[in-house]
Amino acid sequence: MSSLAARASSGAAACGRVASAASPVSRLAAGLLPLPSGSSRPAAAAAAAAARRSPAVLPRRAPIIAAAAAAPRRHETGALVRHGSKVAKPGTRVAVVVGRFNDLVTRLLLDGCLAALEDHGVDCAADVEVAWVPGAFELPVASKAMARSGAFDAVVAIGAVVRGATTHYDAVAGGAASGLLGAGMDTGVPVVFGVLTCDTMEQALDRAGGKVGNKGGEAAATAVEMANLLADLRAEGKAAPAWGK
């Protein structure tokens, strides 16, 4: 009996230590602290639940921490495997072509793209140029022209096409996709598809910094990775130079 009492006392002491280490909100909800006047136990519990759900506050842009060069590795079969680094090489030059149509969305995508380029080591002030075109259908010709100039290591094409009541959506979305693919294939410069093709404006906004993230930032990361990969391969004579150079 005395042993049982000792264990109970030890357990109570441990609980006390855990309770004292808990946050004030958690202790309040658990009934370990007195309620402020005018408060109710359910309200305190709701506050504690909200606190547990809330993520830690992070800076607007967390810096990318990675090796400056992604060293090739050997697969278990002996094959050489390489990836493009996600940290830009010094002086990496990027063109960003943006469609003005649906600019409520494309401006947010552009913001995400530029922020991500900075995070991945690109000097936006010195090495990034932004060109606006009327809409997504005009992205390919401008992107190809800038890629072929030899002045850029990658191009990011940003646009937003939202489905309407006619087949115009299919023509614009399909034309932009095939045109941008051709721009990269015809120049040897990565031309990254950062065009949203959505059924509703709500879906587009969700992907322009909303609950699904910012696809402009994802396109920027892809541009850096592809520029690095091709630069590494070309330095070793394993990829042809960009056609415009």
* pLDDT (tens digit per residue) in 174-219: 999 999 999 999 999 999 999 999 999 999 999 999 999 999 999 9
pLDDT tier, 104 (very low <50, low <70, confident <90, very high otherwise):
very high
Beta partners for residue 94, in sequence order: 128, 154
Residue 39 sits in the same domain as residue 90 = no
The residues carrying an active-site annotation are 168
Residue with more model confidence, 51 or 177: 177
pLDDT tier, 73 (very low <50, low <70, confident <90, very high otherwise):
confident
Residue 152: the pLDDT is: 98
Q: Which domain holds residue 145?
A: 73-235
Beta partners for residue 198, in sequence order: 162
Residue 245: the pLDDT is: 61
Residue 98 sits in the same domain as residue 191 = yes
Q: DSSP string spanning 57-99? A: P--SSPPP---SS---EE-TTS-EE----SSPPTT--EEEEEE
Residue 27: the pLDDT is: 45
Q: CA-CA distance, 134 to 160, in Å (whole number)? A: 11
Residue 13 sits in the same domain as residue 97 = no
Q: Is the pLDDT of residue 34 over 60?
A: no
Residue 210 sits in the same domain as residue 104 = yes
Which tokens sit at 44? 């305190």
